[in-house]
Structure formats: structure tokens, C-alpha cells
């Protein structure tokens, strides 16, 4: 075979999946180096397509393993004036990925002199996440309204895309999905969709330890966007509070009788005398 062709095929074969890191990790484990622990992340995010709008919802609890790191974390990120994304996963990854896509969509808007479409944002996210094979902790529900209609897309951290009329993601998604499946129907009004999303988020908060605090709601229509912080704060209300120390004033308890007895104490002192003759000097 020609030398040029050999070099070409060798270069093409190196563009596929590379498992060198897997072999390296196995060797490191055999040498006694421990794997880094996986930190569990948790969230409940919900999206619903209504008749004239799209509704996004999210809780506000950010966790670091079993620790509540932030009670008021806004998980709804702006991508464009008409496109927003609710994120679950690693907070730092979500902030940086959505900020990057927001910049790309703004450049696209300036270049084409028109409003970007929801499919543009979804395609950019998929192309960015797929090469990392899930190592970017960004699970997103992309919602938006453009000239073609209202849309909800589910974008996994692996880069896969699915379009839904309603969807939930995060550790509280199972509880939220039960509410969505029982309450969703075609042609929901804005108020009905908002209440359905809020109920689904509340279900995730009440049944998932990694979701909590408040409910945030965002409504996207063809004309404007309404972002409701603290739409519902009842889930963050403490049901039990430690009672205050009760101080009883003097005389609260009645004195029935009083008896004073004299206490006699006998003190006996013992004196020990050591015989010097028994002490041996070394």
C-alpha cells in the first residue's frame, strides 16, 4: 500500500473511540490509587407546553452530597430572549454550558438579523455535549417560543435530544412525572399549565431529599417572558421548630411543707508514719 494511504488510514483509525484512559484507570487502581468518589446531584425540573405558552419550573435546592449547599439556587438559565433552559446536574457545568450557548445564539441573531429558533439552541447543546460522552454534568430541559411554535426539548448530558409535550428531569422526576401524567391534557391554558408545573415541582420536593426550598416558574409566550421567583414558598416552611426554654417565675410551684434537719459529719484523720530503716537507697 502506498505510504500516503497508510498514513491516511492510520490517521482515520485514531479518530474513533479511545479507551486508553480505561486501561490507565485499571492500572492505577491495581497500584493502590483510589477512584474519586461520585457525588450525587439532585434536582426537580419540569417543562410543559400549553396552548399559547411554554411553562418551565424548578426547585431551588443545591446539594453537595448529603449537604444542602444553597437554598436559593436559580436553576432556570437564559439562552436567548425567547429560549430558556432548566438545568439539573452539576451547577458549575450548567452555568458555563448555558453561558456559552447564550453567547453563540446572540452571535447567530446578530449574523442573521432574526430571532433564533429553539432548534438552533438544542442543536448547539447536542453538538457540544456529545463528544464528552456524559462527563459534562448538564441535563437540560430547553423551552422556547419561535415563529414555528412552542417547544419543549429534553437534552441529556450525553447529547441525545427528545421533544415532549411535557417532561421532568432530576432526582425528583419520578414523583413529578406522576403528577404530569395525571394532570396533562392538550390545550392547557397558561394558568392551568402553571399550576400543573408547580404541583409537579412540589411533588418532587416532598418526595425527594435532594430537592427542596422554593418553586420558581418561568412562562414564555410569543410576546414576552415572565419569571416568577418564589412562586411557591410553602415547601420551604419549617413544620417543626424547637420550643423556647420555659422559665418559671419564683413561687409558681406551691410549697406544701418545710423540714430542716441538722447534718452531723464525723471527720477521722489517719496519719501514716514511714519507717526510715525500711527504705533502701539505690
- Known catalytic residues are 43
> Are the C-beta atoms of 75 and 84 separated by less than 8 Å?
no
Q: Is residue 163 classed as helix, strand or coil in its secondary structure?
A: strand
Q: What does the DSSP assignment read for 5-18?
A: HHHHHHHHHTTS--
Q: Is residue 231 classed as helix, strand or coil in its secondary structure?
A: strand
Residue with the three cell numbers 419549617: 238
In whole angstroms, give the CA distance from residue 28 to residue 34.
8
- Alpha carbon of 135 to those of 130, 157, 276: distances in Å? 9, 7, 83
Amino acid at each position: 500500500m502506498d505510504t500516503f494511504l497508510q498514513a491516511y488510514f492510520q490517521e482515520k483509525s485514531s479518530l474513533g473511540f479511545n479507551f486508553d484512559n480505561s486501561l490507565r484507570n485499571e492500572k492505577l487502581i491495581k497500584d493502590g490509587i483510589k477512584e474519586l468518589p461520585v457525588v450525587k446531584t439532585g434536582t426537580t425540573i419540569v417543562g410543559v407546553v400549553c396552548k399559547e405558552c411554554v411553562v418551565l419550573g424548578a426547585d431551588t435546592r443545591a446539594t453537595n452530597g448529603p449537604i444542602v449547599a444553597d437554598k436559593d439556587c436559580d436553576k432556570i438559565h437564559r439562552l436567548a430572549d425567547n429560549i430558556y433552559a432548566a438545568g439539573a446536574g452539576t451547577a458549575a457545568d450548567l452555568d458555563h454550558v448555558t453561558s456559552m450557548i447564550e453567547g453563540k445564539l446572540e452571535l447567530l441573531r446578530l449574523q442573521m438579523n432574526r430571532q433564533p429558533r429553539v432548534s438552533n439552541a438544542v442543536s448547539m447543546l447536542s453538538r457540544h455535549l456529545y463528544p464528552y460522552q456524559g462527563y459534562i454534568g448538564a441535563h437540560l430541559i430547553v423551552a422556547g417560543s419561535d415563529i414555528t411554535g412552542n417547544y419543549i426539548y429534553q437534552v441529556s448530558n450525553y447529547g441525545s435530544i427528545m421533544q415532549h409535550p411535557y417532561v421532568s428531569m432530576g432526582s425528583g422526576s419520578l414523583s413529578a412525572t406522576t403528577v404530569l401524567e395525571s394532570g396533562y391534557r392538550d390545550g392547557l391554558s397558561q394558568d392551568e399549565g402553571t399550576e400543573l408545573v408547580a404541583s409537579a415541582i412540589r411533588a418532587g420536593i416532598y418526595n425527594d431529599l435532594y430537592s427542596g426550598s422554593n418553586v420558581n416558574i418561568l412562562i414564555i409566550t410569543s410576546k414576552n417572558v415572565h419569571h416568577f421567583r418564589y412562586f411557591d414558598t410553602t415547601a420551604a416552611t419549617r413544620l417543626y421548630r424547637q420550643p423556647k426554654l420555659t422559665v418559671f417565675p419564683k413561687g409558681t410551684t406551691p410549697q406544701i411543707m418545710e423540714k430542716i434537719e441538722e447534718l452531723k459529719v464525723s471527720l477521722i484523720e489517719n496519719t501514716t508514719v514511714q519507717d526510715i530503716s525500711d527504705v533502701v537507697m539505690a
